[in-house]
A and B are shown apart, each in its own frame.
Chain A
Amino acid sequence: MIKAKQYTCIGCPIGCPLQLQHEGKNIAEISGYECDRGAKYAKQEFTDPRRDMSTTVEIIGARWKRLPVKVTGPVEKDRVMEAARKIHELRVRAPIKLGQILIEDFLGQKDIHVVACRSMERIN
Chain B
Amino acid sequence: MSGPDVMFHEEQQQISMVCARLQRDANAKAVLLIGRDGQPIAEAGDVDELDVTSLSSLTAGNVAATGGISKILREKDFTSQFHEGEKTHVHITLVGGRAILVVLFDERSSLGLVRLRVKKSSDEMARLFEQVAKKAAAKSQPSILTEITDSDIDNLFND
Are A and B co-members of a single complex?
Answer: no
